[in-house]
Amino acid sequence: MTTPSLTAPEAFATLADCRAAARALPLADKVRLLTGRSMWHLHALPGIGLRPVTFSDGPVGVRGLGEVEGATSILFPTPSAVAATWDVALAFEVGQAFGREARDHGVDVVLAPQVNLQRTPVGGRHFECFSEDPFLTSAIGVSVASGIQDQGVGACMKHYLANDSETERTTYVSRVGMQALREVYLAPFEDAVRAGVWSVMAAYNGADDGIEAAPMTEHRHLVVDILKDELGFDGVVVSDWEATRTATAAANGGLDLVMPGPGGPWAERLLAAVEAGRVSEREIDDKVARLLLLAHRVGALGAEPAPVTHAADLRALVRRAAASSMVVLRREGVAPWDRPAPTTIALIGANAARPHVLGGGSSTVHPAHVATPAEGLAVRWPDARIVLERGGDPRAFAPRLDVAARGAATLVQRDDAGIELSRTDASSWAGWDKDLHPHARSAELRIRVRLDEPGVHRLSVGTVGAHRIVIDGVEASASEAAVGVDCVLDSSVNNPAGIEVDVAVAEAREIEILATLGVIDAGGYGRFVRAEPRHALPGPTADQEIEAAVEAARAADLAVVVVGTNEESESEGWDRTTLALPGRQDELVARVLDVAPDAVIVINAGAPVLLPWLDRARTVIWAWFPGQEAGHALADVLAGAVEPAGRLPWTLPASADDVPVPHAVPDAGSLSYDDGVHVGYRGWERSGATPAAPFGHGLGWTGWRYDDVAAAPAPDGGVEVDVAVTNTGDREGREVIQVYVEAPAGAHERPVRWLGGFVAVHARPGETVRARVPVARRRLEVWDAEAASWALPNGEYRLRVGRSVRDLRLDTAVRLEAPEPVRRDG
């Protein structure tokens, strides 16, 4: 067979065209295309004009291909923050900005957005997801994806499916009934396919949907029958990185592309499976056709990439998105922006000193600069004196040792027999060496550190895998347990543990740290050694720091306390074990409120944390992981320049005991989704427990009255709800009008109430505005598992309108009778 030369763009315009093109290719070429060429690149096929398609993470920005030394990316607010805006236009613009960043970094497909559900607040990737509600997840997620693709770049919707927690993340099997799958977990993917998404990522976990139990990379029922055949997905199903384990089962299960490569479970094994007739060549052609269509869509085959049109200032977009996503949890007394300009500001908290701007794991991007709160407040109030007090360090690990500033280091690489292969200066050590000699099996990192300051220095080296760490002659830790790709997948390599050694210094002296490290072979993630030297200087105790913070708050005319999570708590790779704020932050807030009751408390976290002092604080703002413009966005909000108009996309618990799904620890490898359709706030509505703040809550900087409501059937079989609201405050504001549906009693299991639609309005003080909130038919329907189809039971649907799921102000109902719905206003 000769390689065809199909370079005309029309040759790849549809999946059918691409199938024809694929059929004409030699089998070996086709199979080669179905595994990546590297971590982020696919193979080229110059004969048909195919250049390598490139992928890059991920949901908080576009990291790039790691090919340009020191390359930086724009760091956006965390996805939950974008969802908290309840602003689909902003989400679309964020998507466009991702598309533009992708093109700037040579990326064709962005591994985002993540539309898994925030099923449990302890979920490690909670911050990377949008919401605990499927409709809000879908509305925001599909807008982000559409924005990316609007710029000619592919979006990759992930992770398909029921990938909502991290414990045993590569092996657990989610046992989910078909009704919950359809109404909750599949819903965002269904909408994304309808909107034309170009790729979907098959998750690490398995799923048991009652029809088939298989890893998601092999799940023919969910991938082929539902995603491709029923929903009509014409894009590429790519495996999560290193997720695929089989050739025949995965190829027949509907997976199209194995990442990363080269090598892996397909390659020769897949070729052999086709030759032996275990996988049909038709399956292969379909996969290749999907790849060719994706390549065509991103401009890697037959046509040039579509021009990027988004031209707005990206830093300004990040700042605006961050500020407007912040949620006012409490607002009593005089708002910070309504007070006289401060002359002294006490800026308190570990996250004030070092804001946490993104969660850990594969979504990490490297911004050129992060604006700290101190920087933001100083620009906003240039005449004010800013006193920064950390108030204790909630992090268990000391800061990274700056090797070059305190001494020097060398790295010696050795082979299996211990023979020295190389000896290099490692004084600019940044925690890793990923560029090892091909025969290196171990390495010795020898660091000389000058300790000038009298007192007790705390030193450690964080590492994973086989190692021996000796600090100033003391063996801190040793292990012979080797690790492989698992240390990347569970994220332990990103923030590695290390045992501390206290070194008492009376007079300045030099000590040595010796780290003997086994080389880690992490498959597609490469070979490396990892050592994170850490160093805490002698200094004040936590008690002394808290005391100093309290005194600063007492003396200042504006106290701002920023508390939150950090890289040790929120990350891909593990679920949290507690909802409490790390360290002594609760005590810090309580003590500051004792002396400064008007202190503004800011929470810098992605996922819910318990706030035991919440009722005592007058101004409380949830600020998310705000991205690189963190400090400026916070200053905009405090000064009243931007309304923090966010609304919680999840429920904030008052007590961990009330959380409907308090953990996600699999039982014998299986994770039972027995909460069914009662996910998130729906579980709270069912139990009746009172959260600290309900789903949809957010006070903004003004007040609202709900005036009247009327509802009518809509042409699509759904309903339209007309609502009038009035801004009762004295500044312009934005309100998110939320419509919750209650179904008529019937045979089906239904949530007590659920979000059916929402619309945001703006109004000046005293102004009344009307809005029409569509509730699409699918949002009213139920999945009838017995009939295996959607149903819209007859009866009266109550529509409750308000400011959150627990602040429902207006009520109406519509009677829906097949075939013609009949109108009845309330």
Residues in contact with 248: Cβ distance below 8 Å, sequence separation at least 6, in sequence order: 273, 278, 279
DSSP output for 246-278: -SHHHHHTT--BB-S-SSSSSHHHHHHHHHTTS
Q: Give whichever of 273 and 489 is closer to ligand BGC, judged by the CB atom.
A: 489
Q: Give whichever of 20 and 65 is closer to ligand BGC, judged by the CB atom.
A: 65
Do 46 and 99 form a contact (C-beta atoms < 8 A)? no
Q: Give whichever of 54 and 324 is closer to ligand BGC, judged by the CB atom.
A: 54
Of 240, 490, 575, 675, the catalytic one is: 240
The three-state DSSP-derived secondary structure of 407-433 is EEEEEEEECCCCCEEEEEECCCCCCEE
Q: How far is CA 272 from CA 33, 44, 53, 215, 266, in A?
A: 15, 22, 26, 22, 9
Q: What's the start-to-end Cα distance of the chain, in Å?
A: 70
Spatial distance between the Cα atoms of 144 and 157, rounded to a whole number of angstroms: 10
Tokens of 136: 């809000």
By CB under 6 A, residue 575 contacts ligand BGC:
no
As measured in angstroms, the least distance from the Cβ of 493 to ligand BGC is 12
Helix axes 630-638, 373-380, angle to 10 degrees: 50
Q: Give whichever of 362 and 628 is closer to ligand BGC, judged by the CB atom.
A: 362
As measured in angstroms, the least distance from the Cβ of 111 to ligand BGC is 4
Helix axes 134-150, 88-104, angle to 10 degrees: 40
By CB under 6 A, residue 493 contacts ligand BGC:
no
As measured in angstroms, the least distance from the Cβ of 63 to ligand BGC is 8
Which residues within the stretch 103-122 sit at the binding site for ligand BGC (CB under 6 A)? 111
As measured in angstroms, the least distance from the Cβ of 711 to ligand BGC is 40
As measured in angstroms, the least distance from the Cβ of 169 to ligand BGC is 8
Nearest residue to ligand BGC by CB is 362
By CB under 6 A, residue 57 contacts ligand BGC:
yes
Q: Report helix, strand or coil for 112.
A: coil
By CB under 6 A, residue 240 contacts ligand BGC:
yes
Site string for ligand BGC, 5-44 (x = CB under 6 A): ----------------------------------------
By CB under 6 A, residue 132 contacts ligand BGC:
no
By CB under 6 A, residue 241 contacts ligand BGC:
yes
Do 128 and 359 form a contact (C-beta atoms < 8 A)? yes
Strand ranges inside 26-138, DSSP E: 55-56, 109-110
As measured in angstroms, the least distance from the Cβ of 636 to ligand BGC is 31
Residues 32, 41, 158, 467: which binds ligand BGC (CB under 6 A)?
158
As measured in angstroms, the least distance from the Cβ of 57 to ligand BGC is 5
Strand 719-727: give its sheet, edge to edge.
Answer: 704-713, 719-727, 768-775
Phi/psi of residue 420, nearest 5 degrees: -70, 130
Spatial distance between the Cα atoms of 656 and 265, rounded to a whole number of angstroms: 42
- AA letter at 31: V
- AA letter at 77: P
Residue 309 burial (10 A CB sphere; 0-12, 13-18, 19+):
exposed
Tokens of 543: 């008690």
As measured in angstroms, the least distance from the Cβ of 572 to ligand BGC is 6
CA gyration radius for the chain? 28
Q: Give whichever of 246 and 491 is closer to ligand BGC, judged by the CB atom.
A: 491
Spatial distance between the Cα atoms of 826 and 810, rounded to a whole number of angstroms: 9
As measured in angstroms, the least distance from the Cβ of 4 to ligand BGC is 33
Do 132 and 144 form a contact (C-beta atoms < 8 A)? no
Q: Give whichever of 327 and 489 is closer to ligand BGC, judged by the CB atom.
A: 489
Q: Give whichever of 33 and 111 is closer to ligand BGC, judged by the CB atom.
A: 111
* Cis amide prior to 113 (ω within 30 degrees): yes
Site string for ligand BGC, 453-492 (x = CB under 6 A): ------------------------------------x---
Q: Give whichever of 158 and 591 is closer to ligand BGC, judged by the CB atom.
A: 158
By CB under 6 A, residue 58 contacts ligand BGC:
yes
Spatial distance between the Cα atoms of 717 and 218, rounded to a whole number of angstroms: 36
Q: DSSP H helical segments within 326-470, as ranges?
A: 350-353, 373-380, 403-406
As measured in angstroms, the least distance from the Cβ of 174 to ligand BGC is 15
As measured in angstroms, the least distance from the Cβ of 170 to ligand BGC is 9
Q: Report helix, strand or coil for 574.
A: coil
How many residues touch ligand BGC (CB under 6 A)? Answer: 8
Q: Report helix, strand or coil for 178.
A: helix
Q: DSSP H helical segments within 163-265, as ranges?
A: 178-180, 187-195, 220, 248-252
Site string for ligand BGC, 346-375 (x = CB under 6 A): ----------------x-------------
Q: Give whichever of 118 and 362 is closer to ligand BGC, judged by the CB atom.
A: 362
Q: Report helix, strand or coil for 135.
A: helix
Q: Give whichever of 523 and 640 is closer to ligand BGC, judged by the CB atom.
A: 523
Q: Give whichever of 490 and 685 is closer to ligand BGC, judged by the CB atom.
A: 490
According to DSSP, the residues that pair with 775 across neighbouring strands are 719
As measured in angstroms, the least distance from the Cβ of 158 to ligand BGC is 5
Pick the closest to residue 67 from 104, 113, 109, 35 (CA basis).
104
Site string for ligand BGC, 312-351 (x = CB under 6 A): ----------------------------------------
As measured in angstroms, the least distance from the Cβ of 485 to ligand BGC is 10
Q: Give whichever of 86 and 266 is closer to ligand BGC, judged by the CB atom.
A: 266
According to DSSP, the residues that pair with 345 across neighbouring strands are 386, 558
Strand 501-505: give its sheet, edge to edge.
Answer: 501-505, 455-462, 532-536
* Cis amide prior to 58 (ω within 30 degrees): yes
Q: How far is CA 675 from CA 164, 175, 177, 609, 659, in A?
A: 13, 11, 10, 22, 11
Residue 234 appears among annotated catalytic residues:
no
By CB under 6 A, residue 804 contacts ligand BGC:
no
Q: Give whichever of 57 and 168 is closer to ligand BGC, judged by the CB atom.
A: 57
Spatial distance between the Cα atoms of 555 and 389, rounded to a whole number of angstroms: 13
| Binding footprint of ligand BGC on the chain (CB under 6 A) | 57-58, 111, 158, 240-241, 362, 489
- Residues taking part in catalysis: 240
